[in-house]
């Protein structure tokens, strides 16, 4: 069902609440990856250009007690946003109260403020995360309209998305949320074929429902990464010290049967004796993994096999790295597959489903070669599972 976007409402002179996902990684107090900020810029810039009064807010990190507040303040993000917008962003270091209300009421058309980390409210009893009715109503009272542009939290029923939406007349999607809906949701509903899904990451258990849903709509599901070894074990192969979910072997057998030839695993892997960036790497057929070695990456024949499916694809969705890409020696599988996907960009819709696979392609400098890189980790997974996401459902329908 089509959702309303900021194009469908007038924002000039209005106080516009904008829920963004600025949960960016910080290292020594500095932002180490600003992708989520950059992705939100079109929405914020549009509202400011249209004469809206922007009130931007987000969560950041995990806030369990008062000691976590100093390391999870959004002030550093507000400063970076100011640079990217080339415009003053007034940072308000509270989540409610007279200081915030006065700052909101003093905003003029085309001006912007950001208030403090919404998860600071969780120190008062999980009020943000558990969608406290009073908190959602309070935040809604600060604005005239609500723009949800935080796909990364769309799978959460929180005060800062569903709570606000329940207490305000207009709730619309920003450009980023619209893109996520169109690319991931739209692709699953009506993909151009051949449709190839690529799944990696550590655990089968994290992707059970994703695999089941993709088997309904994809033409091929290519599986690599740590999760592949449970499937290899299910096929009767010895996998040495490779990652294994022993309690999911029977499930892997069921999925292989359910897939009826759709699931592609490949037939060779890169192994090492220790989980170490300097460990000597070996190419092993899946029928001959030594007992004292562990799988670290997909092998060259598997890379070539996966590339044959990618080369003719019209739609590719990828979620999860295919090896330990953090170690350069074991990054070749993930890098090669990323590179091969960029080579079909002109003929296909190519989507990265957030999380570590997004981090990998950004690390490799290949981000520009994809049609869309999702800003959601858990949200992308649940969307790929076919679930209804609260942060999308709460947006007004057209």
Whole-angstrom Cα distance, residue 203 to residue 212? 15
CA 297 to CA 368: how far, in whole Å? 24
Which fold would CATH assign to domain 183-384?
Rossmann fold (3.40.50)
Q: Worst-scoring range by mean pLDDT, 44-48, 248-252, 277-281, 379-383? A: 379-383
Q: How far apart are CA 224 and CA 322, in angstroms?
A: 5
Q: How far apart are CA 160 and CA 138, in angstroms?
A: 10
Q: Do domains 6-176 and 183-384 have the same CATH topology?
A: yes
Residue 112, SS3?
strand
Q: What is the pTM of this model?
A: 0.89
CA separation, residue 251 to residues 162, 218, 234 (Å): 35, 20, 9
Query: How much is the pLDDT for 1?
Result: 60
Given 3-state DSSP classes, what are the helix, strand and coil percentages for the chain, each rounded to the nearest 5?
40, 15, 40
Report pLDDT for 348.
Answer: 97
Give the pLDDT confidence score for residue 35 in this predicted structure.
Answer: 85
Which of 61, 369, 378, 386 is an active site residue?
A: 378
- For 319, list phi and psi in degrees, rounded to 5: -140, 115
Average model confidence (pLDDT) across the chain:
95
pLDDT digits 0-9 by tens, 159-175: 999 999 999 999 999 99
With helix as H, strand as E and coil as C, how does 268-284 read? EEEEECCCCCCCCCEEE
For 322-381, the pLDDT digits (tens) are 999 999 999 999 999 999 999 999 999 999 987 889 889 999 999 999 999 998 888 898
**CA–CA gap between residue 231 and residue 264 (Å, rounded):** 10
Q: Which of 19, 39, 72 is nearest to 390 (CA)?
A: 19
What would the mean pLDDT of 202-216 be, rounded to a whole number?
A: 91
Distance of alpha carbon 264 from the chain centroid: 24
- Give the number of other CB atoms < 10 A from CB of residue 278: 9
Q: Can you identify the CATH homologous superfamily of domain 6-176?
A: Phosphoglycerate kinase, N-terminal domain (3.40.50.1260)
- Is 329 a residue of the active site? no
One DSSP character per residue, 322-384 reads SS-TTSGGG-HHHHHHHHHHHTTTTTSEEEE-SHHHHHHHHHTT-GGGSSEE-S-SHHHHHHH
Tell me, yes or no, if 266 is annotated catalytic: no
Would you call 355 a catalytic residue per the annotation?
yes
Catalytic residue, candidates 69, 203, 281, 284: 203
Per-residue pLDDT at 260 exceeds 90: no
CA distance 102 to 106: 6
Q: What is the pLDDT of residues 97-138, one digit of tens each?
A: 999 999 999 999 999 999 999 999 999 889 999 999 999 999
The helix-helix angle for 75-85 and 35-49 (nearest 10°) equals 60
Nearest 5°: CA angle at 22, between 18 and 24?
A: 175
Contact by Cβ (8 Å): 70, 129: no
* Stronger pLDDT, 206 or 86, i.e. the higher one: 86
Q: Which residue among the candidates 226, 266, 295, 355 is catalytic per the annotation?
A: 355
Residue 81 has pLDDT above 90, yes or no: yes
> What are the boundaries of each domain within the chain?
6-176, 183-384
Give the active site residue among 36, 119, 156, 220: 36
The answer to whether residue 36 is catalytic is yes
């Amino acid at each position: 069902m089509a959702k309303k976007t900021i194009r469908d409402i007038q924002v000039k002179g209005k106080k516009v609440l904008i829920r963004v996902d600025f949960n960016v990684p910080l290292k020594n107090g500095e932002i180490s990856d600003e992708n989520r900020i950059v992705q939100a810029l079109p929405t914020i810039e549009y509202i400011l250009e249209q004469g809206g009064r922007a009130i931007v807010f987000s969560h950041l990190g995990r806030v369990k007690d008062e000691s976590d507040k100093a390391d999870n303040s959004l002030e550093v993000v507000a400063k970076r946003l100011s640079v990217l917008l080339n415009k003053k962003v007034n940072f308000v270091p509270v989540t409610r109260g007279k200081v915030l209300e006065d700052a909101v009421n003093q905003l003029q058309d085309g001006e912007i403020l950001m208030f403090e980390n919404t998860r600071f409210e969780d120190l008062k009893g999980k009020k943000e995360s558990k969608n406290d009715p009073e908190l959602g109503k309070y935040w809604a009272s600060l604005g005239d309209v609500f723009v949800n542009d935080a796909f990364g939290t769309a799978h959460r029923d929180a005060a800062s998305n569903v709570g606000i939406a329940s207490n305000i007349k207009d709730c619309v999607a920003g450009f980023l949320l619209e893109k996520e809906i169109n690319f991931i949701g739209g692709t699953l509903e009506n993909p151009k074929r051949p449709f190839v899904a690529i799944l990696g990451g550590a655990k089968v258990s994290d992707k059970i429902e994703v695999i089941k849903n993709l088997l309904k709509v994809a033409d091929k599901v290519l599986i690599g990464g740590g999760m592949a070894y449970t499937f290899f074990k299910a096929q009767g192969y010895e996998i040495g010290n490779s990652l294994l979910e022993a309690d999911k072997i029977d499930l892997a057998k069921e999925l292989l049967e359910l897939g009826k030839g759709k699931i592609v695993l490949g037939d060779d892997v890169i192994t090492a004796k220790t989980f170490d960036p300097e460990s000597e790497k070996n190419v092993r057929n899946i029928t001959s993994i030594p007992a004292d070695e562990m799988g670290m990456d997909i092998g060259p024949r598997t890379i070539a096999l996966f590339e044959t499916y990618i080369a003719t694809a019209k739609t590719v969705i990828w979620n999860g790295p295919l090896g330990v890409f953090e170690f350069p020696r074991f990054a070749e599988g993930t890098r090669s597959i990323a590179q091969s996907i960029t080579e079909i960009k002109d003929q296909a819709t190519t989507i990265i489903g957030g999380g570590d696979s997004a981090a990998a392609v950004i690390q490799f400098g290949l981000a520009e070669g994809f049609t869309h890189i999702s800003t959601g980790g858990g949200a992308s997974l649940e969307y790929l599972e076919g679930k209804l996401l609260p942060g999308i459902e709460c947006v007004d329908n057209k």
